[in-house]
Structure 1
Amino acid sequence: MQIFDTGDVRLHYRVDGPDDGAPVVFANSLGTDLRLWDPILPLLPQGLRIIRFDKRGHGLSSCPPAPYSMGALITDCERLLDHVGVKECVFVGLSIGGMIAQGLAVKRLDLIRAMVLSNTAAKIGTPDLWAERIKGVEHGGIESLADAVMERWFSAQFCATPELELWRNMLVQQTAAGYAGCSAAISGTDFYTPTSGLRLPVLGIAGSEDGSTPPDLVRETVDLIPASRFHLIRKAGHLPCVEQPAEYARVLTDFLKSVGHI
């Protein structure tokens, strides 16, 4: 575990694997920290240099005053990757992490040679939806939204298991200001035009029971980029790396091989 002070925020990050390994950067979803990727990491090929981080207001990173802009989140990530010396990574972004991926690829294509857009879109939700979500967090805390979030995150089968408590606890332990701040960033983002100008290898991943970014929404975004590919993971919601880690790791590994990253 390490901390990097960008000047605007202190980001908690972690680097696993050899310094000369092919870099793979993971950016997680709203309401989760870098442990989101723990289920799949043991299933990936050895020798990768894996970079994970907690975005502002999440995990062990600091929490600047809300609201946040997507531009600020993208700049946070850009500065971190420059700090750890990453170039030409494969960037795996889930939900808001996938929005960061799109924006960073537009801004700094030297950093990203291919990307995985998982359970994300060029535009997620509506300003009214996010305003209601932010109001709920500000008045009742994240706990007031937690049960509804679990239903969007996971399939009905997973919601009936004891493991659900791990992820519910992760959600409610995030700061309310961080959750609201990143919600504002999503609310203000529409990447349809810039994303449609991208030209790099892209894999889209969706969960068949995703209540936040349904498969058709993910596919619509991935289809903006020529020659992209799409994979649907069944019996999974918004976090298929948690519900179906073996399939997620296999699909990701196949993509890394196909772009010559391993």
Structure 2
Amino acid sequence: MGSVQLADGVVNYQLEGPQGAPVLVLSNSLGTNLHMWDTQVPAFAAHFQVLRYDTRGHGGSLVTPGPYSIEQLGGDVLALLDALKIERAHFCGLSMGGLIGQWLGINAGERLERLIVCNTAAKIGSPEIWNPRIEMVLRDGQAAMVGLRDASIERWFTKAYAAASPQQAQRITEMLAATSPEGYAANCAAVRDADFRDRLGEIRVPLLAIAGSEDAVTPPAGSRFIQEQVAGAEYAEFKAAHLSNVEVGEPFSRRVIDFLLAR
């Protein structure tokens, strides 16, 4: 583990893999931390330097007053790359991390080699969905996070996976219960306000959109839309709910590696 000092706090990160290899940045979903990628790291680190980090408001990273914006969170990624003297990198983000990836592709494409956006959309939800959740979390604090944890298994995983792998599902959902309520609410606002539907055509880096066929949070149509709007983009779909990287495991990792190593 390491940390990088920003103007207003620290970003917690972990860097693994062979020195000199291409860098692959992994960006977590709302309510998780860098350990949501534990399943992928051994496979990824065979080919890349894997840079995982806790998004602002999550894990061991800074929690600053909200609301946040995806632009702010994308700026944190660029600051992390700058601090580690990484000129260009691959980027893979899931859900909120996928929104950050879209922002980077639109606004900082010169820093990216290839871009993967998973279980996400150019616009996720509406104020009618996000505002009550923000209000509840700010009002009820950690008790609200525990309640969200208990409800998240059905949103994040298929029933079959949750039944077959209860310890893994619990490991991931416990990340939500441990997340700062203030940080979570501030990131909810960032997701609420992000809308890249009219700007996806500005992305010029090679892109892969990954969806889960059983994902009720960000259904496959959202990933299909991204793929259709970005010239030359690829699409992959797995039988999974929202956290497809956790649920699918090795086939997810292999598809990402194949895309990143393609010539």
Q: TM-score, normalised by structure 1?
A: 0.94
Q: Equivalents in 2 of 1:113, 1:11: separation in Å?
A: 22
Q: Displacement, 1:214?
A: 0.7
Q: In structure 2, how many angstroms separate the alpha carbons of the residues matched to 1:77 and 1:20?
A: 20
Q: Is the 8 A contact 2:145 2:181 kept in 1?
A: yes
Report the structure, 1 or 2, having the larger helix content.
2
Shift of 1:45: 5.9
Structure 2 counterpart of 1:218, one-letter code: S
Match of 2:243 among 232, 239, 248: 239
Q: Relative to structure 2, which stretch is displaced further, 181-190 or 101-110?
A: 101-110
Instruction: List per-residue Cα deviations over 1:3-50 (Å, max 9, x = no partner).
Output: 111102310011111231111111010000000111011123624111
Partner in structure 2 of residue 105 of structure 1? 105
Deviates more, 1:5-14 or 1:43-52: 43-52
1: distance between equivalents of 2:201 and 2:31?
28
Residue in 2 aligned with 1:217?
222
Among 140, 143, 146, which residue is 2:146 paired with?
143
Report the Cα distance in structure 1 between the residues aligned to 2:200 and 2:16, rounded to whole angstroms: 30
**Deviations 1:105-145, CA, capped at 9 Å, x for gaps:** 22222210210010111110001111011122123321122
Check conservation: 2:67, 2:189, Cα contact below 8 A. yes
- Once the two structures are superposed, residues 137-191 of structure 1 have per-residue CA deviations (whole angstroms, 9 ceiling, x without a partner) of 1233211222322211110112224222212211100111111010000111101
Match of 1:158 in 2: 161
Partner of 1:208: 213
Local SS of the residue matching 1:192: coil
Counterpart CA distance in 2 for 1:146 and 1:137 is: 12
**Partner secondary structure for residue 64 of structure 1:** coil
Residue 198 of structure 1 is aligned with which of 175, 188, 203?
203
Local SS of the residue matching 1:203: strand
1:62 corresponds to 2:62: yes
Question: Residue 20 of structure 2: SS of its match in structure 1?
Answer: coil
Q: SS of the residue aligned with 1:204?
A: strand
CA distance in 1, matches of 2:232, 2:47: 28
Asked if 2 retains the 8 angstrom alpha-carbon contact of 1:136 and 1:145, the reply is no
Aligned counterpart, 1:248 = 252
Contact 2:16/2:45 (CA < 8 Å) preserved in 1?
no
Please list the CA deviations of residues 84-117 of structure 1 after superposition, one character each: whole Å capped at 9, or x if unmatched: 1222311101111111111112222221021001
Q: How does 1:28-67 map onto structure 2 within 5 Å?
A: 28-44=28-44, 46-67=46-67
Q: What does residue range 54-133 of structure 1 map to in structure 2 within 5 Å? A: 54-133=54-133
CA contact (8 A) 1:28 1:97 kept: yes
Match of 1:182 in 2: 187
8 A contact 2:220–2:237 mirrored in 1? yes
Contact persistence 2:17–2:48 (CA under 8 A): yes
Which structure 1 residue ranges, 5 or more long, are not aligned? none
Q: Distance in 2 between matches of 1:127 and 1:42?
A: 38
What one-letter code is carried by the residue in structure 2 that aligns with 1:81?
L
CA distance in structure 1 between the aligned counterparts of 2:201 and 2:129, rounded to whole angstroms = 25
Kindly indicate whether the alpha-carbon contact (under 8 Å) linking 1:117 and 1:204 is maintained by their aligned counterparts in 2: yes
Deviation at 1:74, TM superposition (A): 1.0
Q: Which amino acid aligns with 1:166?
A: R
Q: Does the Cα contact within 8 Å between 1:4 and 1:12 map onto a contact in 2?
A: yes
The question of whether the paired residues in 1 share the 8 Å contact of 2:44 and 2:50 is answered with no
Which position in structure 1 is the counterpart of 2:17?
Answer: 17
